[in-house]
Structure 1
Amino acid sequence: MKVAIQGIRGSYHHQVATQLYQNLELLECSSFDQLALAVSNHEVKTGIMAIGNSIAGSILPNYGLIKEHDLKITGEYYLNIQHQLMALYDQEIMDIKEVQSHPMALLQCKSFFRKYPHIKLVETDDTAAAALRISEEKKRGVAAIASKHAAQLYDLKILNDDVQEVKNNTTRFVVLEARERINNEANKATINFTASHESGSLAKILTKLGELHINLSKIQSVHIIEKPFLFSFVADLEFENLKQFEEAQLEIGILVESMKILGVYKSHTL
């Protein structure tokens, strides 16, 4: 199984891939754009993409990438994220002048660094890649925020563990494929829709979902890039069976201006 991930070995994307697949071959991508393109071009069958975090919120541009490349969500996985602050073995916290990591990781740890105003926070492409560069280049005075696996893999010392703002810190990842693959046990769907400009149009859609006993577990407004200051909505719908969702598609299809199914899949329980 060849799987595209954002980041390198030791990243949280890598952790999810190893949880989901055996005999894994990785395609390490430096950006989410590269990941989406690799799946779209059939360079790999599957991609793993972070889509939201319980502290930092949704990664809205990733919904745009899924739609732009016409990818399908075929699964999801929730990973408990435990951020470690790591550096070379001869370093201590007061030696550190700069911490490098992915922007989402830095955001999730901002409370910890209020105690260390002398430390500069620097955004990089990936948590594990920041750790790897410190190890390879023997960077003194520089630390990374990454996983315990990254610390072990790149032989770094953990200066402080669990530095995330909230200890129960979870990131949701989605499994992406270029073609739709419906699981008969599917009980969740992600849709992207635009409501009409009539008063109360969104309320009518939400009311109809309630009448159909569809659980709206998430709804998020997303900028329509080609139409400044106008929005579409991304919603996660939970249902008991596919027939129930198919009925919902027909019913709310009448009430929306446009609708795209981003994926129908089996939910992952926290």
Structure 2
Amino acid sequence: MELDLGEIRKNIDAIDDQLLELFKQRMGLTRKVAEYKAAHNMVVFQSEREKAIIRSVRDRSPEELKSSAEFLFTNIMDISKCGQNNAITPAVSIPHGTQIKHTPDVAVQGIEGAYGHAAAQKLFPDGRMNFRASFAEVFEAVENGSADYGVIPVENSTAGEVSVNMELLEKHHVFVNRTVTVPCTHVLAAKHGVKEQDIRILFGHEQAIRQCSEYASSRPELTIIPYANNAMAAQMVAENRSSELGCICSRECAEMHGLDIVNPAIAADPNNATRFFCISKETEVYDGADTIAVSVSLPHISGSLYRMLTKFAVNELDLTKIQSKPLPLEFRTEEDEFMFYLEFSGNVGQPVVLRLLNNFQTEYSYFRFHGNFLAVN
């Protein structure tokens, strides 16, 4: 006699009830395992035992269910490990509630009038601005202590990541403590009296050029030349006698250098904005910090990313950003060539966050804690 759908579902519900009871029993035993490992100074992750369990599960499963059974038991073991880690991993304290320094020295790439300068002024209205020729010099100034803080662009809403700075973040011993987002309403500026159609050479930072790509495409006669910084490009145009030069910059920057605004909006996105990191030599975690950034490498095996993401789900932590990147050259091996940059909601004052960070540090061959920060409006 063929069962109807209601009867089939009733049978499934009964099996699910049994599974839940068995799961509760298993997690109870997992806690006892955690206590034993803690008492005998054993690490949570026992790779050989896990491999043996998975081999046994596959051997005892029908062919069509081997992969599904492996996936199921891998998840169960990952959940168990999260429980064990939470039970026995010490929550090592990271200082938080730090006070921002008064009238600090702030390293910024470029010159007065740059978007980085605007971001630094938002973060440090009373800061002493220390302008540097390159982003690398900003990182070096913070790392060697010649500047208290550095302000660097890391992501634009149109052009995406500022990859050079994310690479420098991995290479230098600095930490992110705050972020600020600055609107980037690019204008086309030129010397007084120059008309838009007279401009033949356009200067701007490479990121700004990408953000104005639609305008550049509409002017095929333009020669476009990348410049170290938009404000520096504006200064150069202002000091040059040629009437064929134009630059991409902000309205405030154009006015600062006495340039005419010949086109008030050339960015592809009218809501174009850039996110900046504030970096410091030591970890500084201010009241209200709600985002954590880390980088980790994962082994080149099937499901390793999923297993890492399980840690966030089990601990009820919201992962807000994930991006794959090549590992810095000095950390690459045959097994590890890539890493993931992660941002997630949390504060180092939460034990669950500290245990997760400690778990990352012990389980993955490459781990960097980049900071616990808050966004400044």
Structure 1 residue ranges without an equivalent (≥5)? none
* Alignment map for 1:124-135 (pairs within 5 Å): 124-135=227-238
Percent of aligned positions with the same letter in both sequences? 24
Higher mean C-alpha deviation, range 15-24 or range 240-249:
240-249
Counterpart for residue 349 of structure 2: 242
Residue 247 of structure 1, CA deviation: 3.1
- Aligned pairs, how many? 269
1:102-127 alpha-carbon deviations (Å, 9 max, x no partner): 00000000001221110111101000
- Residue in structure 1 matched with residue 45 of structure 2 by the alignment: none
Which amino acid counterpart does residue 266 of structure 1 have in structure 2? L
TM-score by length of 2: 0.68
Letter in 2 for 1:232: M
Residues 154-233 of structure 1: pairs in structure 2 closer than 5 A = 154-226=257-329, 227=332, 230-233=337-340
Cα separation, partners in 2 of 1:148 and 1:187, compared to 1, 3 Å: same
- CA distance in 1 between counterparts of 2:294 and 2:347 reads 17
Greater Rg, structure 1 or structure 2? 2
Q: CA contact under 8 A between 1:72 and 1:176: conserved in structure 2?
A: yes
Contact preservation (8 Å) 1:99, 1:121: yes
User: Which residue does 1:66 correspond to in 2?
Assistant: 169
Per-residue CA deviations over 1:203-253 (Å, capped at 9, x if unaligned) read 111122122222211111121242389211111111267314213224444
1:92-150 CA distance string (max 9 Å, x none): 11100010010000000000122111011110100000000111223320100001111
After superposing the two structures, state which structure 1 stretch, 148-157 or 243-252, moved more.
243-252
What is the Cα deviation at residue 12 of structure 1? Answer: 0.2
Q: Does 1:54 align with 2:157?
A: yes
Q: Quick one: distance in 2 between partners of 1:30 and 1:128?
A: 12
The 1:25–1:138 alpha-carbon spacing in structure 2 relative to 1, beyond 3 Å, is farther
Q: Distance in 2 between matches of 1:268 and 1:202?
A: 31
Report the Cα distance in structure 2 between the residues aligned to 1:139 and 1:27, rounded to whole angstroms: 31
Name the stretch that deviates more: 110-119 or 237-246. 237-246
How far is the alpha carbon of 1:254 from its aligned partner? 5.3
Task: Please state which structure has a larger fraction of its residues in strand.
Answer: 1
Residue among 252, 260, 270 paired with 2:368: 260
Structure scoring higher RCO (CA < 8 A, sep ≥ 6) equals 1
Secondary structure at 2:366 match in 1: strand
- Asked if the contact 1:3–1:47 (Cα under 8 Å) also holds between the matched residues in 2, the reply is yes
Q: Which amino acid counterpart does residue 249 of structure 1 have in structure 2?
A: L
CA RMSD of aligned residues (A): 1.7
**Aligned amino acid, residue 321 of structure 2:** K
Aligned partner of residue 355 in structure 2, secondary structure? helix
Secondary structure of 1:114's partner? helix
CA distance 1:42–1:240, shift in 2 (3 Å):
closer
Distance 2:347 2:228 in 1: 39
2:222 aligned with 1:115? no
The answer as to whether partners of 2:179 and 2:278 remain within 8 angstroms in 1 is yes
Structure 2 gap segments, 5+ residues each: 1-103
